[in-house]
Copies of this chain bind each other. A is one copy, B any other.
Amino acid sequence: MNKEIKKKLVKNWFSDLQDLICYEVEEIENKSASFKINQWVKNKKKDEGGGEFRILENGKVFDKVGVNFSEVYGSFSKELRKNIPGTKNNPKFWATGISVVMHMKNPHIPAMHFNTRYISTSHEWFGGGMDVTPCLKDNRLKSWFHIELKNCCDRHNKKYYKKYKKWCDNYFYLAHRKEPRGIGGIFFDYKKDNWEKDFTFVRDVGLTFKKIFSLIIKKKIGRKWSSAEKDLQYIKRGRYVEFNLIYDRGTKFGLKTGGNVDAIFMSLPPIAKWK
């Protein structure tokens, strides 16, 4: 398939998925909060693309949700080219992605994160994943979540779940504290096995995330919480900030390539605490 057609298909899907997810979130909020839409351009002087991030705050269910869509292009600096496949002889890149982070009011509902992206250099590949960060332990939820992910993966390839779960466990790990960020999920990168199958998988991951976050909220929304439990959530959010600022590749990539700070830091919680 023509490269330009691929780009257009993926970009349109990520943009549509942004609409689908935002619609679902606002349905859950049932009119008590809505998204603010922020459009941004990467470079004001020349066309390097941009994106749209949407933030919903102070809802009845969500403390903060950020849903970011981007389509950016340009040339990588020498420093970045070392780490990006397919840029050795040509620094040009084109990238599109969607990322979502949800910080919940009820500390019984975990923070949820999802991202899929597509990068085109002289190579082209998909990346993405999702993970969930509870502040209160719930083994049943953990099992259920991983079965849902396994089912999603198994629809495409019986080897994916094991491989992508392990990748996620390794990635979302706070080495300085020797603790995982949450209860894991799936994570994949440099995925370029078969373009059409990969794209089908990526679409399924997005729809599975939409299903999972809605069901987790439904399962947990009725549970009462104490101020001590809310405080545990603030502390756990501090860990979230630590992960995103110290380790997260997307954050580092965004800051180094002059991305929009507000869009990049959309993932940060509204309030975090440290003891």
Where the two chains meet, the residues of A that have a C-beta atom closer than 8 Å to any C-beta of B are 176-177, 234, 238, 241-242, 245-246, 255, 261, 264-265, 268-275
Contact = CB atoms under 8 A, between A and B. Distances in A.
Contacts of A238: 268
Given A245-B242, A255-B176, A261-B177, A271 B268 contact: no
A237 to B, nearest CB: 10
A148 B273 CA distance: 33
A30 B264 CA distance: 43
19 contacts: A176-B255, A176-B261, A177-B261, A234-B271, A238-B268, A241-B245, A241-B272, A242-B245, A242-B265, A245-B245, A245-B246, A246-B246, A246-B255, A268-B274, A270-B274, A271-B272, A271-B273, A272-B272, A272-B273
A234 B273 CA distance: 11
A270 B274 CA distance: 5
A234 B268 CA distance: 14
A173 to B, nearest CB: 13
How many identical subunits does the complex contain?
A: 2
A246 B242 CA distance: 9
Given A242-B265, A246-B255, 16 more contacts: A176-B255, A176-B264, A177-B261, A234-B271, A241-B241, A241-B245, A241-B272, A245-B246, A265-B274, A268-B274, A269-B274, A270-B273, A270-B274, A271-B271, A272-B272, A272-B273
A238 B242 CA distance: 12
Nearest to A272: B272
Contacts of A270: 273-275
A141 B58 CA distance: 36
A176 to B, nearest CB: 4
Contacts of A242: 245, 265
Contacts of A272: 241, 271-274
A245 B270 CA distance: 17
Contacts of A246: 245-246, 255
Contacts of A265: 242, 274
A80 to B, nearest CB: 15
Nearest to A255: B176
A234 B272 CA distance: 10
Contacts of A255: 176, 246
A44 B257 CA distance: 41
Contacts of A234: 271
Nearest to A177: B261
Contacts of A245: 241-242, 245-246
A264 B274 CA distance: 12
